């Protein structure tokens, strides 16, 4: 039975082909405020792997291919600022979507103020200023080397723009139509002067409400001033916290009918989902978490991909990095894709949440649900014969895995029906060998760890797969970077999964290590390096950062122990006794040279920013500490050379003796230098803490001052 099951499993693994085809949606973010955050708030962007990098890199790796930028006629988001932002993101390879507000400040369904410099004496003079503004702005972008992909003439203009002249009334769309047509003519004039024509968009709010938006379009096109041919695409805002009616189903119904009515590409031009939100009714039951953000955008994309005639065009997440206004205009506390640390202000560190990968294909290209019965799903939802048939043995688990686990949902059901082992409304998803191994490791780990629930197999477009919970009932544990026995026990499933992956890599590394010396006369370590590359995050991803975080300290401890044991076996005191003088002389020369060079380097670096503010005595202690560390010699290096060269000459024993003795010398030297550094740097540390305490609360005060008069925010969000 086991052999049969194993053969079936292996056949499925080898035959698996990963299919990740999806519709070509535009995947974007509105990043209008990023440079302001970097300048005014000292924002530093930290990737999910913990590295400080650019926001372009973070979102590029997260699947973003377009950037939305708003432009005001004056103020923070004026022409000079927005053009510079467009050049920044276009240089990084992103398409640019320009959102014209036609105002000196925020424009939305509650504010559409005429720019102070424009002539509002009549509709005609206002239209002339509007037309000239659009033309000159587009020409400036062209002169700046920017070809726009999308151009929105107005922002959320369901009630018109340029109020009061262009504000819509129940029966009068004429003035607004005249003004919008003037803006459209401004595009035509710019194109005639050499500007590349972008997609012309009309952007309105509440895209989920078909009656609301279709009333606008019907009224706008009624008198013939503006026709559907003047518009290339429609864009819609769609938020979950302004009314429980804004559901995914209502969005699907509305956009489907609009696609049939107008046959235009349709965008969700603004959306977001909260990660912190209390006492607010949301329109969907996704978790208030990064996972919920992924699921919300994923659901929107499913709607767009399913529209008639392929008219779903793209989705833009609104201001995911607007760290000073984390609520993003809602009544929730935060809808950012970053976790913000203000404690180091005026430098502000924004660490990317897992949802920065919202466009990378997470839960998109292939989504399967691990309905592992009966091991990982409560028995009450499974038919009794299933539980009795497979039991709890490893053989049963393998057979169960092969027969019933990997499925792709093809229905609209959010959860599996009772008896989900059946193939009803479910399709098998073909996977690669590596995918099968990883998922099997996860299944075994969840089984042994007793962790029940529904899990999604995630396949990224450019990155390896991973498994994560589809809907979490409790916060997801992140792997600890400082591992101890207690934290390891608390993450048993992850640990077992990574341990199995590590064992598989070890089994593969051994034959590779023997292969290269035998056939290519290369060192043993070559095979181990190849094994590491093959199993690392750029290929199979069997050994990733999580493995290093969970198992790294233990693997290092075991490896160093075995290296020390082997080195100890090579050191035979009777043979070393005649060479004591040589060992001492070599060690003394090496130690003094390393200490002198290390200290000199740090003395020469005294002007470096992070170092120059320290007093000289504190600098000296730090210099001695780092110089002591530089004396260290790895026993593994010496042992590796000995094995590779098959060296048995006396100098080998001298080198080993020097290396082992240096360990003790470094311990003493480092301890002394650490005491010196701690004494002389203690006063500086106390002063830093006092200074830090005074500044810790300033960012919130600054943020409140900046947002107090922000008209884009509801009254409840503006500080008193």
Catalytic residues: 156, 270
Q: Hey, what's the torsion of the CAs at 324, 328, 334, 340, to 10 degrees?
A: -30
State residue 360 phi and psi, 5-degree precision. Answer: -80, -5
Sheet of 367-369: strand order equals 426-428, 407-409, 367-369, 455-458, 466-469
- Of 624, 456, 480, nearest to 553 by C-alpha is 480
Q: How far apart are the C-alpha atoms of 540 and 560, rounded to whole Å? A: 27
Q: Is the separation of the CB atoms in 112 and 54 below 8 Å?
A: no
Pairing between strand 348-352 and 338-341?
A: antiparallel
Q: Look at strands 367-369 and 455-458 and give their pairing.
A: antiparallel
Which 3-state string (H, E, C) describes 591-648? HHHHHHHHHHHHHHCCCCHHHHCCCHHHHHHHHHHHHHHHCCCCHHHHHHHHHHHCCC
What tokens appear for 667 in the block? Answer: 């311990």
**Structure letter (DSSP) for residue 423:** -
SS3 117: coil
Q: Cα dist. 424→388, 456, 460 in Å?
A: 21, 19, 27
Picking from 533, 544, 469, the residue whose alpha carbon sits closest to that of residue 501 is 544
3-state secondary structure of 384: helix
- Helix, strand, coil % in the chain, rounded to nearest 5: 50, 10, 35
Question: What are the φ and ψ backbone dihedral angles of 452, each rounded to 5 degrees?
Answer: -100, 160
Q: Which tokens belong to 171?
A: 């029966």
Buried b (16+ CB within 10 A) or exposed e, 503-539: ebbeebbeebbeebeeeeeebbeebbbbbeebbbbee
Which helix H or strand E contains 271, and what residues bound it?
Answer: strand 266-271
């Amino acid at each position: 039975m086991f052999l049969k099951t194993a053969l079936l499993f292996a056949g499925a693994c080898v035959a698996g082909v990963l299919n990740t085809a999806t519709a070509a949606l535009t995947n974007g973010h509105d990043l209008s405020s990023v440079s302001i955050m970097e300048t005014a708030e000292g924002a530093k962007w930290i990737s999910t792997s913990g590295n400080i990098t650019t926001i372009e890199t973070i979102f590029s790796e997260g699947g973003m291919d377009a950037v939305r930028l708003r432009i005001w006629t004056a103020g923070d988001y004026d022409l000079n600022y927005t053009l510079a932002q467009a050049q920044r993101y276009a240089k990084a390879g992103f398409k640019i979507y320009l959102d014209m507000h036609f105002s000196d400040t925020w424009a939305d369904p509650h504010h559409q103020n005429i720019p102070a410099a424009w002539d509002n004496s009549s509709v005609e003079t206002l239209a002339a200023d509007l037309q000239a503004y659009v033309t000159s702005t587009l020409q400036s972008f062209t002169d700046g080397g920017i070809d726009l992909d999308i151009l929105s003439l107005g922002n959320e203009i369901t009630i018109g723009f340029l109020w009061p002249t262009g504000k819509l009334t129940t029966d009068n769309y004429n003035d607004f139509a005249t003004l919008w047509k003037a803006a459209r003519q401004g595009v035509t004039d710019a194109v005639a002067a050499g500007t590349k024509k972008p997609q012309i968009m009309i952007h309105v709010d509440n895209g989920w409400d078909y009656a609301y938006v279709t009333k606008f379009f019907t009224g706008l096109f009624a008198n013939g001033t503006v026709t559907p041919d003047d518009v290339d695409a429609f864009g819609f805002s769609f938020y979950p916290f302004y009314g429980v009616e804004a559901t995914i189903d209502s969005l699907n119904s509305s956009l489907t009918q609009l696609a049939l009515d107008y046959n235009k590409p349709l965008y969700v031009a603004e959306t977001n989902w909260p990660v912190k939100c209390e006492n607010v009714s949301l329109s969907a039951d996704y978790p208030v978490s990064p996972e919920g953000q992924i699921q919300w955008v994923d659901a929107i994309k499913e709607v767009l991909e399913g529209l008639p005639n392929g008219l779903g065009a793209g989705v833009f997440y609104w201001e995911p990095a607007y760290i000073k206004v984390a609520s993003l205009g809602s009544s929730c506390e935060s809808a950012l894709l970053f976790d913000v640390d203000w404690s180091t202000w005026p430098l502000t560190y924004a660490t990317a949440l897992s949802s920065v990968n919202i466009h990378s294909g997470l839960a998109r290209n292939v989504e399967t649900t691990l309905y592992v019965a009966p091991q990982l799903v409560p028995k009450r939802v499974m038919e009794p014969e299933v539980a009795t048939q497979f039991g709890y043995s490893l053989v049963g688990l393998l057979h169960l895995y092969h027969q019933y686990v990997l499925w792709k949902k093809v229905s609209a059901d959010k959860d599996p029906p009772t008896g989900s082992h059946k193939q009803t409304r479910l399709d098998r998803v073909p996977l690669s060998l590596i995918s099968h191994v990883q998922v099997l490791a996860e299944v075994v780990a969840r089984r042994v760890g007793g962790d029940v629930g529904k899990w999604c197999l995630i396949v990224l477009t450019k990155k390896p797969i991973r498994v994560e919970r589809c809907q979490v009932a409790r916060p997801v544990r992140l792997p600890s970077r400082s591992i101890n026995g207690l934290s390891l026990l608390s993450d048993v499933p992850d640990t077992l999964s990574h341990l199995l992956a590590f064992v598989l890599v070890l089994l593969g590394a051994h034959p590779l290590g023997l292969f290269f010396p035998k056939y290519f006369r290369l060192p043993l370590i070559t095979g181990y390096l190849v094994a590491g590359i093959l199993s690392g995050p750029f290929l199979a991803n069997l050994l990733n950062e999580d493995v290093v975080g969970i198992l790294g300290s233990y693997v290092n401890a075991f490896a160093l122990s075995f290296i020390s044991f082997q080195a100890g076996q090579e050191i035979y005191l009777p043979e070393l006794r005649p060479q004591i003088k040589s060992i001492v002389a070599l060690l003394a020369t090496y130690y003094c040279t390393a200490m002198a060079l290390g200290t000199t380097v740090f003395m020469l670096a005294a002007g470096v920013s992070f170092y120059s503010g320290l007093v000289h005595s504190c600098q000296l202690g730090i210099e001695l500490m780092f110089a002591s560390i530089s004396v260290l010699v790895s026993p593994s290096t010496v042992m590796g050379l000995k094995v590779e060269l098959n060296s048995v000459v006396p100098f080998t024993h001298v080198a080993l003796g020097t290396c082992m003795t240096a360990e003790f010398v470094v311990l003493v030297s480092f301890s002394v230098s650490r005491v010196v550094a701690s004494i002389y740097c203690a006063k500086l540390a106390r002063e830093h803490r006092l200074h830090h305490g005074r500044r810790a609360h300033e960012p919130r005060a600054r943020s409140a001052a900046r947002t107090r008069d922000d008209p884009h925010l509801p009254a409840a969000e503006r500080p008193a």
